[in-house]
Structures are given as C-alpha cells and as structure tokens.
Structure 1
Amino acid sequence: MIRQAALDALPVREALPGLVSALDAHGTAVLCAPPGTGKTTLVPLVLAGLVGGGARRRVVVAEPRRIAARAAARRMAWLLGEQPGGSVGFTVRGERVAGPGTVVEVVTTGVLLQRLQRDQELAGVDVVVLDECHERHLDADTVAAFLLDVRETLRPELRLVAASATTDSAGWARLLGGAPVVEAAGVSYPVETVWAPPARPVRPPHGMRVDPAQLAHVASVVRRALAERSGDVLCFLPGVGEIARVAGQLGGVDAEVLQVHGRAPAAVQDAALTASDHRRVILATAVAESSLTVPGVRVVVDSGLAREPRVDHARGLGALATVRASRAAGRQRAGRAGREAPGVVYRCWTEAEDGRLPAFPSPEMRIADLAQFALQAACWGDPDASGLALLDAPPAGAMAAAREVLVAVGAVDAAGRPGPRGLRMARLGLHPRLARALLDGSAALGAHRAAEVVALLSEEPPREYGDDLASAWRRARAGGDAYAARWRTEARRLERALAPAGRTSETESGGRSPDDAAAGLVAALAFPERVAKARGEGAFLMASGTGAGLGDGSPLRHAPWLAVAVADRPPHSASARIRMAAVVDGDTALAAAAHLRTDAEEVHWEDGDVVARAAQRLGAIELAVRPLRTPDPALVRAALLEGLRTEGLDLLRWSPDARTLRARLGFLHRTLGGAWPDVAADGVLLERADDWLEPELSRARRRADLARIDAGQALNRLLPWATGEAARLDELAPERLEVPSGSRIRLDYAAEHGQPVLAVKLQELFGLAETPRVAGVPVLVHLLSPAGRPAAVTADLASFWQGGYRAVRAELRGRYPKHPWPEDPATAEPTRHTNARLRR
C-alpha cells in the first residue's frame, strides 16, 4: 500500500510539474533540489508513473555509490509499500535485486556504464536520472557523455535528468543542450552553524596523513556536540583509518558508535540507515553526504577533509590524497542535520577559512588515472574522447599515459582502436590492468584462482592483512570478516565473467601453482611497471625507475624479486612505500613485463669519463651488463658532448693564447656582432660543436683524448673566413697594444665590465692625450705604480692628466722617488725606467 502521507511530505513535489513539462518539451532537464527534498525517491516514482497517475515508463536511476543505490531502492520500495525487487529494484556490482516487474531500477554509474557498452541504445529504458552529479566521479561523467551521444544519434526520445543539491547547474544545462533548470524549495528546517576550529594550529593534510591533533580535536568536538545538543551525531571524516582512530578516542561516550564507509558490513550500513531508540554517533566517509537520510541525526560534525585520487603518470603510481572538502560538500554534509528537524553543524575550521575553500570538488577527469576512461571511450568508438560531451576535457598528458597503458596490456592497437580482447576487457568492470591480469592469469592458473587474486587487487585488503599478497589471499579464504565476504562475491563475479571463454577449471592450466607464485604472476601481469628487483635489504628498484621500500617487519624484505600490487609515493619523496606485494621469480617478472625488456648499447658519460657497455634491462632494472669494446662512434661522440656539457669546456686544452682568443672573439661579438661568433657560453659553443670541434671530437674516445684537443686552434674555425673579416682580427681586437714608451702591453678582453683593459705603468703613458680605442671602443686604462700596483682607473686620459694625476703624484712621488713625476705629464717623456736610467 502506497504511503501517501510520506510522499506528500516531500518538498520536491512542488517542482514536479515543472520538471515533467521540461522533459516533455526538451527531453533533458537539470533538477536542483536541496538535501531531504525527495529528489532521489519521489522524482523517479513520478517519472515512472508509479505515483501521480502519469504514463508508465521505465526509469533507471544512476547513483555514484553502492550504499546509496541500495538505500534509495529500499526507500522507494517502502514508499510504495513493497519490498525491493518488485516495482523498484537495484543492481550494484555483484548484487542484483530486481524482477520482471521492476519499473524503477537504481544502479551504480559503473553498472550503467557496462550496460551502455553492451547495449548502446539502452533498449527498454525511457528515462535516466543521473543523481548526485555534483560529485563529478569519472564513471558518472562518462555515463553522461555516452547518454548524450545516444540521444543525439540513436534515441532522441530518451529522457535525461541531471539531479543534485549543489551542482554547477549552468554547466550541466549547457552540457545537456540548453536544458531547463528546475529548482525545488528546500526543507524548512534550519541548520545552525557553529565554527569550532582547533585551539592550536594543526599541520595540514599531507598525502594520506592527517595530523593526529586534528583527529583528537574532531573527537573532542563530537563529545562537545553530545553534551550541548540532542539527537544523533553524524561525523564526517576522510577515510576508514581516520574513522577507526576517532572511534578509539570516543570510548565511554553515552552513545552507540557506528563506523559507516564503503567497506563496512551491510549490517552496520543498515543499522545507520534505520531509526534507533538509543543515541548514536555515526562516523562516516563521504558515502553519507548524499542520496540517503540517516534517521535521528540532528547534529553534524564536519572535519572539513575529503579524499581525492591522484596519479603519478611518470611512475605509474596512483594514490588517494587528503584535501580540504569543497564548499559544496560542506553544504551537503550540513544538510544531513536538517533532514527531519532543526539541526546544527559543527565545522572544525574558521569562518574565514570557509571562504577560501574550493567551490566544488575537483572533477576526477582532471586528477585521476584515465586508463579505464580511455578504454571505455575507445570501445565507444572515440579513442581520443574528442567527440564526447564532457564538462571537463581530459588532460592531454593523462590521456597519453592512459593510451600507453592500454597498448601495453593489449587492449588497443597503436592507433587506439580496440580489438576483441579490448572489448572484452572493457566489459569486465575492471581497470584495464586488472582485466589483463584476469584474462592472461586465467590462462596460466585457471579462472578460479586468477579471479580470486584479481578480486584482492580490485579492493585493497585491510591493513591488518599485512603486505604479503599471498598471505592476504590465504587470510581472505579463511576469513569471516566483511572484507572477506565482499572478496568472495567479487571473485565469483569475475569467475562467471570468464566462463564464456571456457576458462572455468584449474586443470586447464596444467596443474595448480603455489599461492605465492600465483599471486606474484597475477600482480606482475596487472602492474608490469612495478616488478621490482632487490637492491639492499628492504629496498627495491621498480621497472618504472622508482625506488621502493618495505616496512621493517615485512616478511618480504629478503625476496630477490617482487611484484608490487599497491604502492604510494609520499609528496616530496623520491622513494615509494610498498603497501602490498608478492614474491616472484625472475622468469615471471621478465614474462609479465616483456614489453619493457631492452637489449641495447649504452654509451654515456659517467664518473668523469666515457663508459661503454652492452646492457640488458627490464625498464630501469639492470639484468646483465658487459663492457663494449667497439662502441658506435656516434654514441661515443654523444657521450663526449654530454661530458663537455656536464663538466665544461675546460676538459679541452686551453693555452693562455686560446683563452685570449676566446675573449677577443667575445668582445667583437658584443661590439660589432654580424659575422663575429658568440663564444661566451659553453652551451652556445657546444651547440656548434660540428663547426669548430670536428674532426678532433669524432676521433676522441675518452676524457684523455679531449685534453689533447687544442681549443685555440679549434676556435679559429669559427672566425668569419667566408666574408674576409677574419683577416681583420688583429686590427679590430689586437692581442697587444703599443704605448708611448714603446712597450707592447697585452689587452685583457675578459674583464667583467666588457671593456678591454689596458694595465700599464703610469710613466709609460706620459704625453698620450687621448684614450686608446679598440674597434671604436675606448679601453679602460688601469694606471699602475712603479711597483705594478693599481694607482688609478680611467676611460678618459685627458681628464685624468688635468685632475686625477695631481692626487696620484702627491701620494706616490715620496714612495717612489727614483721614478719621474713631472708636473706636466702631457709634455713629459714616456719611460719604462727610473730617473737614474734616464740621466744615463
């Protein structure tokens, strides 16, 4: 019997006429409805004609999470006075509760994506509701793009609704082809905001790490909320680990403490979603943000933290990162407190900080591993996703990295087109890496064992299972915990998925392989870039080139080879932490990562000289090496150039004349430009190595050969011989300059200020009225005392004789009485000698 009173109490009913009209006119609509209005439950029932008397249509509701899909279906069935599986059903991975009479089916976006790949027309479905589209999960964005493509090319009558409380309504309206935006009034219950920041500063989240002081503060705020307010308390935390730590700090509170997350047992999830006679504290991840009402909640405590995926494409490492939750997430969380009555939200940050938070969560399209998306797009017929309607285009670098993965696992060809294998991989509902491990692993181990290991890899086991994949496998087989139950369900699903290929028995592979070897094979097939060779106790080098380490108590520390299943690299760390791995032998590692194996001549500059060797490598892992007696001359030349770039041109033989020539050429380039070459920077000269270092460089084989190359003779090749300007080198930039005394003084062209420097004893310039010039540039005269020490610097001799000379004469004539110090230097005889020599 339909519970009409409960249906009438849902505020979204006021927006339903507008929504129906929008769909009738445009076929698409954006529904903005605050939490608790009934958009997830009443809207699908009305669109399906199950309530309200409309035409009967089949409706599919896509939810981002399994817990939300189950809860929404159960709530709709309850409103109809039925059990799930009748008019309303649900399908999530590994579980389907639906029947021939099901009109409204709630599915996860991942399930809907698989259906679209099998049946692009989505035959029999009239309306699709994309619920909680603000969360911007990769599957949800992909489903939206595929559905819009279906509407445009195959089924224009298919109706689409994008629904959320906090979404970018204008962006979704544009994406849906100018769809009308229908807004529903919010729940009338007010939610008070209490700002509850820590009394002392806490460290910001760093990777997966949350400051323990922050978690202690959250626990204290929960205790405060229990003391100050009535009703159940819903506390949002970023992950399972943080939930466990806060739960441990709430011992002794006068309330039942429940831990709700995607891995929680179904009984715990059901308990959280069922009204209770006693007070509760529900510690939850983002699964409780939307799509379900937690009865009895009047208080929300928000840690302000969330988890987002991150991926290091260069190293093939993915991880979750703890970030500040967006303002949109904050509104969703606060709304949980006002679903049934006035409530309050305690926010564990300051009001000033709130304004600096991001408006919406980061779309996974921008930050996540795109290999699975790229395979879905390729199987849809759009390998580069350029034709898909997406709110955010996939980053080019991430798509290129995804394409490399797909080619490596045999899902697509070099052009990005999938063959039968790629199509099958896409329909397994797994990441392409795991799909490859399942298909190839089942050929070697049988479907049952391969499916069990892949199920372990598809959801990381609890930390208490340890870091040995084979040991975790044995524990899951024997375990009775919630993880083991989910693992067995997923393993059965994967085994059934392999059945069409006839791989259902272990005997087909020729016998059983020990658990350790089987686990290692499957992990290596899934993550070939992460096969790792030991390079010290507990330290390994992965084929990707990343170093990795095990914890001190790991039983894997002495293994010669590992297949790393789970690893992350902390920010600013050069080495990854191995979270889970399996022992493999070298042959298995080589077979699984065969595409990374290379046999090549390696000639490079190392430890100050040319090193030439023939090396066999598995990615960055060195397998075997031997000296190379006759290396390729081109490789040797490149290594020598590498050495010159690394250590500088001083590896060549630079005589004083060669250094002077370089400085003279540099002066002429700065002063005259034109054909005079730029020789100042080593990098510039090395770019022109063909012009001045040949043929000597091509004949060199080692560092000692470089030291025999006369740099000055080589530099002469850069002079502008073709124009004839080279013949004017001594005229334009003479090496020496003759002064009035008859001396020929060497010019310094290497001075920092750029002018040539003439350093000469003052007495040798008597009678010289004008400053000498070189290439039209006055030299900088360093006037020296009779002892050769600097006495004055000038670029204007005439002015010096008239003024500065008197001060120098007064200072030095007493110190050097044997040398001439005439009152009128302009008319005096220049000399290199003392007065006694002059008298003789």
Structure 2
Amino acid sequence: MSDPLPDPPLDPLRTLLASPPDLPVASGLDELADALRLDGVAVLQAPPGSGKTTLVPPAVACAVTGRVVVTQPSRIAVRAAARRLAGLLGEPVGESVGYSVRGERRTGPATRIEVVTTGLLLRRLQHDPGLSGVGAVVLDEVHERHLDADLTLALLVDVRANLRDDLVLVAMSATIEAERTAALLASGPASAPVVTVPGALHPVEEVWCPLPAGQRRTDERGITPAFHDHVAATVRRALADHPGDVLVFVPGVAEVDAVIRRLGGLDADVHPLHGRLPGAEQDRALTAGPRRRVVVSTAVAESSLTVPGVRVVVDAGFSREPRTDHRRGLASLVTVTVSRASAQQRAGRAGRLGPGVVLRCWSQTEHAHLAPHPEPEIATADLTSFALEVACWGSDSVDELALLDQPPAHALTVARTVLTELGALTDDGRTTPRGRAMAGVPVDPRLARALLDGASLVGARRAAEVVALLSEDVRAPGGDLVAALRQMRSQDRSGSWRAQVKRLEAIAREHEGPGAQSLTDDVAVGLVVALAHPDRIARKRPGSSTYLMTSGTGAALDARDDGALTGLEWLAVADADRRAGQREARIRAAAPLTEDLALEAAGSLWDESDEVVWAEGRVLARRRTMLGAIELSSARLSDPPADAVADAIRGAIAAEGIDLLAWSESAVALRDRLDFLHRALGDPWPDVSDAALTANLDAWLGAQLARVRSAADLRRIDITSALRALLPWQVASRLDELAPERVEVPSGSVVRIDYSVEQPVLAVRLQEVFGWKDVPKLADGRVPLLLHLLSPARRPAAVTADLNSFWSNGYPGVRADLRGRYPKHSWPEDPRTAEATARVKNPRPRG
C-alpha cells in the first residue's frame, strides 16, 4: 500500500519531460496525455527500446493526482527501471522514484512513481482493492502474457468499474495484443484509445549458426553438453567478428552457469544475469564497464531490461515455460524452443544503440518452423495460484473477469480440486481462513501448505529453507534435493534464496508450535516436499527400480544417476515430467521419505477397503490398505460379501464380454431365436445383444450371480433358464409358435432351423421338400424361411425363399445337373406333386 501523504512538487518530473531523452516514445506523450484526460485509460503500443518504461510513468504522474504504480515482470526489471528513471532525474532511488519487490522496499514521502513486480501489485489489490493513495497504474510488458499480469489487468478493470472510476490505467504493449487489451480496458462499447509509437531500432544483421551435423541440441536430460559448447563457441565468434558488448540468451540458471564455465580466458568481463542473483551482481551485469562485456542471461533481459553497450546478441533459441500435465498432476518448468516473436525481441536488443548483429544457434530452415508467438501462460500453466487469487477476490466465476483468454475449464477444475484438498477452499468454492493464510504466503499454494504445516513438524527454519529451495526452481544434482539444500547453504551466490528463507521463516514462526520433530535433513526435506505434493509421494515397485506415485502415475529416476536416491523404498518427488512416448514420468528432483512420514503428510489419501475382483478365472477378495494408488498392505478375505462378488462378476463381464459365461448349445440356440423375434417383431420381445445383456445383467442373471464364488460356479449358471426369464408372460407361450426350434418337412423329417444368421435358414435335402409349394413363414407370417436345398451328398444345390418360383425356374437346371450323378435318387419332373422321401429309392430291375 502506498504512503497516504500529500503529493510533493512535480518539478523533477516536469523538468525531465520538458527536455526528454531522445527516445521514440517522446513523440506520443501528448497524445497519451489527451487520451487519459478524456477516457482515463489507454494502451500504448511501441516496440522494445522505444523508451516506454522511462518516459511514460513521468508523463502519467504529471497528469494525475496520487502515486503512479508501474509494474514490471521481474525483480531485476523493477530495480533497473527505478534506477534508470531516478538517474535521469538526478536523484537517488527512493525520492521521486522508488521501487518495491518481495522483501525490499525503497520509497519515501516524496515518491510519486513506484515500480513494483506484477505479483506484488496483485498482493496489494487483495489487501486494498481501492489502492488508497494511488492515482494511476501503468502495466508494462502486457504482451508477455504472464499469468499474474493477465489476472492483475483483469482485477484492475474490475476495480475501475466498481470501486475507483477515477483510477487511471495505462497498459503498455510491444505487439498487436494492444487492440485486444484496449477492448478489455473499455468502460463502454468503444475500445480504449491506442497510442501507437513507431520504433526507431537500428538494422540488425542475422547470422545463422546451427549446431554441426550429427550433434543434438537436447536429449532426455535437457540441453546437451555439446550444445553448451556450441553456444560458448558462438560467443567467442561474436567477440572476434563484431564490435560491442555481447548479450547471450539461454533458458535457465543452470544453462547460464554451464555457458559461463566454458568462457574462461576471454579478454572480456563475463557476467551472469538472472533472478536468483544478489542485487549487487545483477547491478554489475546491467552497468557498462571499462572492458568489453559478455552478459549471459535468462529471458529476463528479453524485453523489459536495458543492458547498456550491447551491439551483439547470441541466442541459444530456448526458453523455459510452465507446462502442466493435468491428468497426471505433473506441473513444472520445461525447456521449449523459442517462438519467432521472442527471437525477434531478443534480436532487437542488438539494435538499440546502432546497427547490430544477432547470431542464432539454429538454421534458417529451423527458424521458419518456429511457432509465431509463445502461448499465454493461462493456457499451459498450473492454475492453482490463479484459482486461489480469484477465490480471494470474491468472483463467483472467472467469466466475470476481463481476461484476455479464459483458462481451460479442465485445468481450472483440477486447480480448485487441489485447493479444496489443501483446505484452502470450501466445497462450494469459497475461501477458507486457511486459504487466506496460504494466499498471504508469497509462494504457490502447495508450498504455502508445506510451510505452514511443516513449521510444526520440522521447525520454521528448515521448513522455510526447503520451501525457498522449491520456489527458486533450484536444479538438484542427480535429482537429490537434500544435496541441493546443503549446496545452497554453503554457496556465497545464494543471496536470493537466503532472502527468501528469511521472509518465509518469519511467516513460519507464527505456525511453528511446540511439536517440531527431531528429524535428520534427509527425511525433513522429504517431509516438507511431501506436504507440498502429497500426490507425488512415491514407493518403489516390488522387484523393479521404478516407482508408483500416490496419484497413480509411474515414475523413474534417471538410469544414468547412481546417487543417494537410488534404491530407496520411499521418495517425496518435488519435480517430475513425462515426455511424449514415455511410459514413466522422469523424476527430476526428490528427497528420501519413510512410510510413517508419508502417512503424516498425506493422511487424507489413506484408505482401507475390501476389494473383490474377478481375475485369472476366479474371484479374488482381499482387504487393502492404500495411500492413494500405493498399496501398503493386503490380506485375503475368506468370505466376501455376496453383493461384492456379484459386482465383480458384473465388472468382469462388462470388461471381457458376455462370452465369459458358459453358453450351452441350447442357450445359444434360444438366444438366436429371441434375437430373431426382437428384430422381426420388436417389443416386447427382449433385446439379447451383447450390449443389452451386459447392461441388464441383474434383470436376467441377478439371483444366480449372487451364488457365484468361482469359475466353476460361473459355469453352472443355467443361462437357458435365465434367458427364458426375460420373456414377458404375454408372449412367452408363443415362442415355439413364432420361432419354432424345428420344422417338419414333407418327408416326415424334423429339421432344426438356424437362427444365427440374418434370415433363418432351413438346410434340407431337396428330395425331402417335394410336395411343398411355398416355404413356411415365421413371426406371424412376416419372415419366410430361407431354404438351403442340398444334394443327396448334403452339398448346396440351391438357395431360395420362393419355392414356387424355384420349382418352375431353378429346379429343371438342378435336376439336369444332378440326376446323372445321383441316379438312385428321385428326380421327378413335377416336384410339386411328387412324394417326398428321406430314403434312396431302389432302381428298377432291368428286363
């Protein structure tokens, strides 16, 4: 919350604007001021390097009463922007211009412009929705589409619509997202005004530097050592061939360190730049020096920071973005190929001071296949923090908020389920007191739960250390978080982590209590991780090196790591991912655990139940004690409940099909007859298809299923009687009339009808139907029998359902063909009047 004090004189800011630096955005400041006077909102669109962050806040401050809050996406950018603007005013930071980041604030009574991280402004909005003392908010870099920036924009629109119609809002964008943002900021049918300032970047030459053929940029572990070597070699090439300082983009902290290790012996100063560095080291990277410099940076320098002296950019072509597998509950930062838009922004860093050059560590062909833009975080990230913020804000639905993109429905449902399980939300989605306490901890809600509950179990200090470790995205050596913790404790360059520990420990002290257990670091780390991620508690599968997590997801340690985690029975997994085509998730960071501590952390997942299943041709019944999907113990049940057995049989039939039952010949024949009548006459003749019988097992097998205990019992089921029980009383007596099992032919033989085909078939020797003029009809005369007329050797001779026509047209040809081959048999010229016979006639004696 800003200091509610009277506005000091604006002389330093007005003086700056009276003679501003030669920056492109200066040409649009008057138009911006006019837009704010008329509408109170505006979008300023200008490319990176045009001076938006430097000159727009003073212009807004001169147009409003109250403090101007300016957001930046990172702590590095906050401090750099405040120093830059204060330096232009000739003042130290903390006078007219100040800043606030997590754990550090440099403002005073005279501060008119306060630069903050977007996350910090989000916290302020939750505690003071009216933003007391604030006259305007300037949202910088809205095009980057970070999740907290999208939500902050939406909440500010809500505040302006319902609490503070005098609050001035300015959104600054470097891309065509400006038009969409303007539509959200509008208070009426028309969009907010968009002030567009053309850029004045110098030309940037593109140099393509792909990895040599046969080498890979990435493997299952991430960036390969060969590619780190290639990036370092490209930096050396840039220094040799081009003037100016070099800015190198790599995806993460581990890659920054890997490249710097390979740049030893350079005739230049090499500096890392990322969010985990102490402020003094960040300042050194952002300050021009007497010698040429190489700054190896994560994406923090992509658009919101100015690194002085840079004329050359080396781009490794990767970024680190959040990705979530909601089905398996796996959320992590992953290394992805950079988009064309991000690559263009990075290249632009070389063209701010004069003509520059970008050396891209990929080919021009690969460049053409890059995604045009990065996906917004709301589409890919874990939404647990987002859902908690929305709930704390009091919105009944995210649809009410002015978001550039709505979150995926399934991802939001998963997030709310997690929050409910953590006790942060009620079943109807309202925030609980525990949830508000968790929202006040500046980490993910899962980590907040681990801090608050872990303080009473392992002590406030250790809980804070582990949670800070997890929130800093520290890469554990060999995946071992205990080793990572010891490393962080001993490192001099862990200032960001130490500051976070101090902040979290102060919060945890309020929840420590007297019950902290005396645990070694090994299992204490595991317990805190398990409190944060109870769904990732893992137990080694019997006889295997792989693990099963409580969520039901399989996981495995990297086979190439033979460290402290190898072979442990229980693990608490902090980070895991599953790549396409892999059966098991890969464990990237974990700590040892015990069964007792697993139960302590995930007691809500404990369950004891009786399980009755059909397997291997028999009923298996056991009492199982489970921790989520992990079986802790199992004991045989000798006399399972009858209804549970019946349910198991039902499930087996549904899974394996109706053929699991023992179908006798009579049962099959009866089913075929019933199926025929259902197709021919419809209701009330029952449907006896596989699907219908499976869906209605209780209707015809219920009583008999209750007596089944084994495969032998299943075979003893009288399916014929069960099928007859399906017949309604009003039609049961007509079964033999409408679909007789057999029919008597003119020879006196009684022949079985085959109902297994579409049209019932009577297969009979031709001589046995002499005298029939028409074929019998079934189903009240609706369906004629299909006659398969056989030769004396019972081979097919003809097929007909119209016997009268056959006698006239087909029989003469059959007679001519067969009488020579079967002379002992009767072949009358007029079969309609001939005597039918099932026997062979003796030939007349010759004389």
TM-score by length of 1: 0.89
Q: Find 2:762's aligned residue among 758, 764, 771.
A: 758
Structure 1 match to 2:36? 23
Closer, same or farther: CA 296–605 of 1 in aligned 2, 3 Å: same
The change in CA–CA distance for 1:838 and 1:374 in structure 2 (over 3 A counts) is: farther
State which drifts further: 798-807 or 135-144. 798-807
Contact 2:775 2:801 in 1 (8 A): yes
Q: Within 5 Å, which residues of 2 pair with 1:396-407? A: 396-407=409-420
Query: Residues 231 and 361 of structure 2 are in contact (CA less than 8 Å); yes or no, is this contact kept in structure 1?
Result: yes
Decide which of 454, 459, 478 is 2:490's aligned counterpart. 478
Per-residue CA deviations over 1:474-503 (Å, capped at 9, x if unaligned) read 2222222x3x3222111011112345x275
Residue identity matched to 1:625: S
**Matching of residues 780-819 of structure 1 within 5 Å:** 780-798=786-804, 800-801=806-807, 805=811, 808-809=814-815, 812-819=818-825
SS at match of 1:748: coil
Deviation at 1:426, TM superposition (A): 0.8
Q: Which amino acid aligns with 1:669?
A: H
Partner of residue 740, structure 2: 734
Residue 19 of structure 1 contacts residue 31 of structure 1 at CA under 8 Å; is this kept in 2?
Answer: yes
Segment of structure 1 superposing worse, 427-436 or 698-707: 698-707
The amino acid of 1:495's aligned partner reads E
Residue matched to 2:7: none
Of 530, 540, 543, which residue of structure 1 is paired with 2:547? 540
C-alpha contact 1:7 1:79 (8 A) present in aligned 2: no
Residue 613 of structure 2: SS of its match in structure 1? strand
The aligned counterpart of 2:4 is none
- Work out the CA distance in 2 between the residues paired with 1:312 and 1:669: 47
Q: Which runs of 5+ in 1 are unaligned?
A: none
Per-residue displacement from partner, 1:16-47 (whole Å, max 9, x unpaired)?
A: 11211222222211111111111111111222
After the TM superposition, which of the residue ranges 815-824 and 117-126 deviates more from structure 2? 815-824
8 Å Cα contact 1:165-1:332 kept in structure 2? no
Instruction: Tell me whether 228-237 or 345-354 shows the greater mean CA deviation.
Output: 345-354
Within the candidate set 769, 777, 786, 2:783 is matched to 777
What are structure 2's unaligned runs of at least 5 residues? 1-11
- Return closer, same or farther for 1:197/1:762 CA change in 2, 3 Å cut-off: farther
Cα separation, partners in 2 of 1:783 and 1:213, compared to 1, 3 Å? farther
1:267-297 CA distance string (max 9 Å, x none): 6644543335655555543222211223343
Tell me by how many angstroms 1:819 deviates. 2.9
Q: Say which SS state the counterpart of residue 694 (structure 1) adopts.
A: helix
After superposition, where does 1:548-587 map in structure 2 within 5 Å? Answer: 548-551=555-558, 552-587=561-596
Structure 2 counterpart of 1:366, which letter? A
**SS where residue 332 of structure 2 aligns?**
strand
Q: Secondary structure at the match of 2:576?
A: strand
- For residues 667 and 212 of structure 1, the distance between their equivalents in structure 2, rounded to whole angstroms, comes to 71
**Contact 1:166–1:332 under 8 Å retained in 2:** no
User: How many Å separate the matches in 2 of 1:486 and 1:173?
Assistant: 36
Rounded to whole Å, the distance in 2 between the matches of 1:14 and 1:262 is 33
Deviates more, 1:513-522 or 1:826-835: 826-835
Q: Please report the RMSD computed on the Cα atoms of aligned residues, expressed in angstroms.
A: 3.4
Q: What amino acid maps onto 1:469 in structure 2? A: L
What is the deviation of 1:409? 2.2
1:364 pairs with 2:373: no
Q: Does 1:496 align with 2:500?
A: no
Alpha-carbon distance in 1 for matches of 2:498, 2:672: 77
SS of corresponding position for 1:414: coil
CA contact (8 A) 1:608 1:643 kept: no
Instruction: Give the CA deviation at 1:821.
Output: 4.1
Q: Is the 8 A contact 2:64 2:135 kept in 1?
A: no
Cα deviation digits, residues 182-239 of structure 1 (max 9, x gap): 1112115234556777797998989874688887887787677667655445454444
Look up the equivalent residue of 2:130 and give its one-letter code: E
Per-residue CA distance 1:409-460 (angstroms, 9 max, x = gap): 2223323333333222111111111111111111233322221121112123
1:82-481 matches, cutoff 5 A: 82-177=91-186, 178-191=191-204, 209=222, 230-241=243-254, 259-263=272-276, 269-275=282-288, 282-302=295-315, 304-345=317-358, 358-382=371-395, 384-464=397-477, 466-480=478-492
Contact 2:270 2:293 in 1 (8 A): yes
Q: Write the distance in 2 (CA, Å) between the matches of 1:243 and 1:808.
A: 91
The one-letter code of the counterpart of 1:409 is L
* Structure-2 change in CA distance of 1:748 and 1:196 (3 Å): farther
Q: Distance in 1 between matches of 2:313 and 2:475?
A: 27
Count matched residues. 824
Separation in structure 1 between the aligned mates of residue 678 and residue 379 of structure 2, nearest angstrom:
49
- Deviation at 1:80? 1.8
Cα distance between partner residues in 1 of 2:385 and 2:845: 99
Which amino acid in 2 is paired with 1:517? V
Q: Matches of 1:329 and 1:573 in 2, distance apart?
A: 29
After superposing the two structures, state which structure 1 stretch, 624-633 or 74-83, moved more: 624-633
Whole-angstrom distance in 1 between the partners of 2:280 and 2:454? 34
Provide the rounded CA distance (Å) in 2 between the counterparts of 1:17 and 1:406.
47
Q: Which moved more, 1:29-38 or 1:149-158?
A: 149-158
TM-score, scaled to structure 2: 0.88
CA distance 1:294–1:356, shift in 2 (3 Å):
same
* Range that drifts further, 136-145 or 789-798: 789-798
- Choose the corresponding residue for 2:724, options 716, 721, 727: 716
TM superposition shift of 1:596: 0.9
SS at match of 1:126: strand
* Paired residue type of 1:762: L
Which residue is equivalent to 1:12? 25
1:627 and 2:640 matched: no
Contact residue 719 and residue 726 of structure 1 kept, 8 A: yes
Matched, 1:523 2:532: no
1:834 corresponds in structure 2 to 840
Contact residue 183 and residue 192 of structure 2 kept, 8 A:
yes
CA distance in 2, matches of 1:445, 1:327: 47
Q: How do 1:573-722 residues align onto structure 2 when only pairs under 5 Å count?
A: 573-681=582-690, 683-721=691-729
Residue 624 of structure 1, CA deviation:
2.5
1:22-101 matches, within 5 Å, as 22-49=35-62, 57-101=66-110
Matched residue type, 2:689: A
Are the structure 2 counterparts of residues 448 and 755 from structure 1 closer, same or farther at C-alpha, using a change threshold of 3 Å? same
8 Å contact 2:318–2:335 — kept in the other structure? yes
CA contact (8 A) 1:651 1:703 kept: no
Identity rate, percent: 55
Worse-superposed segment, 246-255 or 150-159: 246-255
